[in-house]
Amino acid sequence: MNKITIVGAGSMAEAFISGILESGLIEQKNVWVTNNSNQDRLNDLEARYGIRSSYDLMDLFNGTDVVVLAMKPKDAASAIDDIRTYLSPEMLIVSVLAGVSMHTIEALAKKPLAIARAMPNTSAAVGKSATAIAVNSRVSEAQLEMAKQLFETVGLVAFVEEDQLDAVTGLSGSGPAYIYYLIEAMEKSAVEIGLDKQMGKELIVQTLIGAAEMVKSSAKPPEQLRREVTSPGGTTEAGVRILEESGVQQAFISCIKAATAQSKKMGDALCAQLQVGKS
């Protein structure tokens, strides 16, 4: 991997930059970034990570073998139109644009491209993302390995078919927000039952880390693990009973289904707006 050019400089782009540099996968001088017009943001990234930025498209794309599309999905059409002359079939185009299909990217670029479409989540910022990747038929074995290595720098990687990415978006792409929502509720309850706020936070975080590690390392399904800590007539049973009576499990299922449906809706709307067929 000689050079990576990242188009877009938001939080996901920064998490990606941090991960690949910390892993030593590529040198700082070979990571380039650009955005629409926010020079201050580019200056900040340069100062923080020692990477390079430019608005000169020749500088940005000369010698690039990986292009990361990390702008907002609504800006995809204008951004890809601006850079399409510099995109080549030999480059690996990595897209983290929710709802924007590989077919749409090719249609906007007006040329065939090797594309890896990825759905990471914001936990990439701490190297703990769960990233699903779909690739098109133009991606070579070497490029496939390159995409895998790139996203392994920010967490776990799984390969899926593109039509599964809406489901991935609803489950793990938006998933951190569901967990933060749960933590919010637990923090409020900690205060209401008389615990110090900071102490409550520490207990909650460690409890979540421990439970996640148990699920990861144990061969037992989560339901069995739950039952094993739920003694008849005990405190856990009293708490779980309230969750069941309140329909919390079904609410989470409905939440993930709604997010999945919204991802598909956004993709369909973008295709219609751009007058691009889905496939």
Taking only the tens place, the pLDDT of each residue in 197-222 is: 999 999 999 999 999 999 999 999 99
CA nearest neighbour of 49 among 69, 29, 35: 29
- pLDDT for 90 equals 94
pLDDT digits (tens, 9 = 90+) for 39-52: 999 999 999 999 99
| Res 177 pLDDT > 70 | yes
Assign 277 a pLDDT band (cuts: 50, 70, 90): low
- Residue pair 168/174 in contact by the 8 Å Cβ criterion: no
Amino acid at 29: K
- Residue pair 81/107 in contact by the 8 Å Cβ criterion: no
Give the CA count within 13 Å in the CB-facing half-sphere of 97: 31
| Res 278 pLDDT > 60 | no
- Residue pair 47/182 in contact by the 8 Å Cβ criterion: no
| Res 125 pLDDT > 90 | no
Which domains occur in the chain, in start order? 4-168 (3.40.50.720), 175-258 (1.10.3730.10)
pTM greater than the 0.85 cutoff: yes
40-48 long-range contacts, Cβ below 8 Å, gap at least 24?
41/9, 42/9, 45/9, 45/14, 45/17
**Tokens 């460690």 appear where?**
206
CA-to-CA separations, 21 to 16, 17, 40, 71, 88, in angstroms, rounded: 9, 6, 21, 20, 25
What is the C-alpha to C-alpha distance for residues 202 and 199, in angstroms, rounded to an integer?
5
